[in-house]
Amino acid sequence: MLKIGTTLTLEPIQTEKSEKFRCKAVEFKDSKLYIDYPVHTETERTVFLIDGTQLKVSFVYNETTVFSFETEVTGRKKSNIPMICLHYPGDDELVKVQRRQFVRVETSVDAAVITPTASYTTITTDLSAGGCAVKVHKDHNYEAGMEVEIILVLHMQTGEYHYFNVPGKVVRVWDKGSGRIASLEFNELKDNQQQNILRFCFERQLTLRNKGLVEY
């Protein structure tokens, strides 16, 4: 089921920070899965994983279904490219993931964030039905755990606009290049709001895939 060349998303298990890495399946041998060195999805920097690192791995099968499995780093291999070895539990141990929990797309959407002390207009850098990341100025006061109000304007392919006013919280803030990014989590998202965001994300994902900018 898992094929060579498939893009994988790695998430460290039992760590305080929520991080995701991207890599490709390069080689199989028995229960060993070899991957290229992963790249951090936010910083785009190469990640070095030590032996014994516990990971959750997810990937898309046939462009429609997401599967995941848990594994750990078991070693390294030098070939044409340096590779990391993971334990592969086999196709029977794969877990099907709900698609709505997975789709996150890079997109610039007009947004506003209202904090307890001020409000700021901005744009997103990515969006999912669970939250978004927005650009923030370095002099703006954002702290992890801060309760905020998030306002989004989504322009659908049909030409219609959807306006969202959603309570949320700041998950974390980090520097990226010369700017700063805040990751925000939606709270109390209504079903119709979630469906419209999912629809927007799928439309955006399809557009990017047709342009050859994403693989799924």
| Domain covering 104-210 in this structure, CATH number | 2.40.10.220
- What are 14's two structure tokens? 């039992």
Tell me which amino acid residue 20 is: K
Q: What confidence score (pLDDT) does residue 151 get?
A: 97
Residue 76 neighbours by CB under 8 Å, 6+ apart: 82, 83, 84, 85
Enumerate the domain spans of the chain. 7-97, 104-210
Buried b vs exposed e over 1-10: b needs ≥16 C-beta within 10 Å? ebeeebebbb
Architecture of the domain delimited by 7-97: Roll (2.30)
Region for 192 from its dihedrals, namely left if φ exceeds 0, alpha if ψ lies in -120 to 50, beta otherwise: alpha
pLDDT at 130: 86
List, in sequence order, every residue forming a beta bridge with 32; answer none if it has no partner: 29, 87
pLDDT at 149 (0 to 100): 96
> What's the pLDDT score for residue 213?
56
On the question of a common fold for 7-97 and 104-210, the answer reads: no
Spans of the chain below 70 pLDDT: 62-64, 98-102, 209-216
Predicted pLDDT at 215: 46
Q: CA separation (Å) from 194 to 13, 67, 138, 161, 201?
A: 27, 22, 30, 15, 10
Q: Is 92 exposed, middle or buried (0-12, 13-18, 19+ CB in 10 A)?
A: exposed
Q: Cα–Cα distance between 66 and 158 in angstroms, integer? A: 27
